[in-house]
Chains A and B, each alone.
Chain A
Amino acid sequence: QKEVEQNSGPLSVPEGAIASLNCTYSDRVSQSFFWYRQYSGKSPELIMSIYSNGDKEDGRFTAQLNKASQYVSLLIRDSQPSDSATYLCAVNDAGNNRKLIWGLGTSLAVNP
């Protein structure tokens, strides 16, 4: 059973701090990794994609990938109350390249 695991949280950080969200995956041959943000009652929104080991930065967001350790993380710098949401990690299913394997999400609360 292929899995993507995330700490459900809630992760609570003060405004302006760095929020660190982690995700581990079981399928060693997965090649594509995604972070989605989902506000309560709304649809998931793609915020980061990463395909190679190392860091990828986009504004206040940095995705980090370590394929040897099978984990991917998302750092949010200068966290804002508007970042309060659930963050979903998704990984391509290498055995069926038409599907993503989804984590259950980590709830983030940024406190003013």
Chain B
Amino acid sequence: DADVTQTPRNRITKTGKRIMLECSQTKGHDRMYWYRQDPGLGLRLIYYSFDVKDINKGEISDGYSVSRQAQAKFSLSLESAIPNQTALYFCATSDLGRYEQYFGPGTRLTVT
């Protein structure tokens, strides 16, 4: 089984809808991250969390919110989806005291 899982893997939604992307991990890592990736723009950090009480904004948090329900679960919500939020979304984890991050398989989100 994969160490970091993301659901759904693909999602098409309409402008204005609320959508939640979920991430779960069995690696036992404390740190979790949400990124989006767009062609030509690379990986951009949306939010990151060190534990259930620690939530931090990344470079592009506007229009997004997160919830760290448990050490192993970190969800990303788009409150009112817009077309320019169409992207590939990745969840990642890292261990306390380490910098390397391990990625889930990604969610391809299309907002029409």
- Name A residues whose Cβ lies closer than 8 Å to a Cβ of B: 32, 34, 41-46, 49, 88, 90, 92, 97-100, 102-105
Contacts and interface: CB of A to CB of B under 8 A. Distances in A.
B102 A102 contact: no
Interface of B: 31, 40-43, 45, 48, 50, 56, 58, 88, 90, 99-106, 108
B99 A43 contact: no
Given A34-B99, A97-B99, A100-B101, A44 B43 contact: yes
A46 B43 contact: no
Nearest to B108: A41
Chain A interface mostly: loop
Contacts of B45: 99
A103 B68 CA distance: 27
B1 to A, nearest CB: 16
B71 to A, nearest CB: 16
B109 to A, nearest CB: 13
A34 B100 contact: yes
Contact of A44 (B40, B58, B103): B103
A90 B106 CA distance: 19
A102 B101 CA distance: 12
Given A41-B88, A44-B90, A98-B31, 9 more contacts: A41-B108, A43-B103, A44-B43, A44-B103, A88-B42, A98-B56, A102-B42, A102-B43, A105-B42
A84 to B, nearest CB: 17
A43 B42 CA distance: 12
A45 B103 contact: yes
Contacts of A103: 42
A100 B40 contact: no
A43 B106 contact: yes
